[in-house]
Amino acid sequence: MSIKIVQAGLFTSIQDFGRIGVAGYGVPESGVMDRYSAKIANLLVGNTEYEAVMEITMLGPTIIFEKEMLVVLVGLGAVAILNTQKKSLLRPFEVSVGDILQIKQITKGIRLYLAINGGFQSELKLGSRSMYFPITKNSQLQQGDHLNIAEYNKTKQQDFAHINYEAEKYDTVFLKVYPGPEYDLLSDELKKELQEKRFSISKNYSRMAYQLQEKIQNNLQSIVTQPVLPGTVQFTPAGNLMILMRDAQTTGGYPRIFQLTEESINLLAQKKQGDAIQFQIKPYEK
């Protein structure tokens, strides 16, 4: 054991790039919500981009380090204190035995990623370390949890400490999407409205789905249950738009009118209640 969770924060979990190839068994993909930020965090401490990281949502944890290790925090803005010293994001730092890290709050965006050299070594379940109940015992870290990590490799630590993080791209309201399987069933008027209207994130948003506040009249029939993916935009009979995220179910019976690009899923993962979004349709490449 190498890290102890003193306080767990609002929703803190261990995530990698998810469970690939098991959707046929009804198992959600899970994994980090913002893959771009998690990838940068891993690269900054010398890992491959796919290593497990700690995903911190809105209000962070307090943790004690029980071994020496190299740590980095990546996100859009946060207040982080190591013992009594404020730590900057995107700058790897070494910790010693007994050091205490407090993530006071996330000040921009809603998710922050903590990576360590060697990655978190929690139990592999169906090829992934991502926390998702009931595949894993819990969906998030609990007070008193102890986490295993790999041995700290100090060699060449400066070689990977200079990587560009494009934080400015998160400022956009535009989400690029592909037309979904049922998009062509929409009327021309509805297609126009969906592209021109600016929506806002409702209070109902989570790792499973983001529901948009504004409703649109829906005259489409429900469909026979079909496969869905993270980034699928479902159009409910009540006129709500739901954007499925990493912990979403694997099938659904609502029309699938859009599919977010991978980058758009990352951008949406940093938005919160009241933030605006607008869809931009991107044609499929031949």
Dump pLDDT digits (tens) for 232-284: 999 999 999 999 999 999 999 999 999 999 999 999 999 999 999 999 998 76
H-helix or E-strand spanning residue 12: strand 11-15
Average pLDDT estimate for 98-122: 96
The pLDDT assigned to 151 comes to 83
Buried b / exposed e across 144-156, counting CB within 10 Å, b at 16+? ebebebeebeeee
> Measuring CA to CA, which residue among 13, 7, 11 is closest to residue 128?
13
Listed in sequence order, the residues at least 6 apart from 194 whose beta carbon sits closer than 8 Å to its beta carbon are 186, 216, 257, 258, 279
The pLDDT assigned to 1 comes to 61
Reading the block at residue 148, the tokens are 């295993």
* 69-74 vs 111-116, strand pairing mode: antiparallel
* pTM for the full predicted model: 0.95
The pLDDT assigned to 242 comes to 98
The pLDDT assigned to 59 comes to 94
Rounded to an integer, what distance in angstroms lies between the CA atom of residue 181 and that of residue 168? Answer: 32
Rounded to an integer, what distance in angstroms lies between the CA atom of residue 72 and that of residue 91? Answer: 6
Q: Sorting pLDDT into bands at 50, 70 and 90, what band is 219?
A: confident
The pLDDT assigned to 155 comes to 61
The pLDDT assigned to 159 comes to 58
> Measuring CA to CA, which residue among 249, 260, 252 is closest to residue 235?
252
Dump pLDDT digits (tens) for 133-186: 999 999 999 999 999 998 887 765 555 566 889 999 999 999 999 999 999 999
Cβ atoms 216, 191 nearer than 8 A: no
Domains of the chain with bracketed CATH: 3-167 (no CATH), 172-281 (2.40.100.10)
* 276-281 vs 174-179, strand pairing mode: parallel
Rounded to an integer, what distance in angstroms lies between the CA atom of residue 143 and that of residue 11? Answer: 12
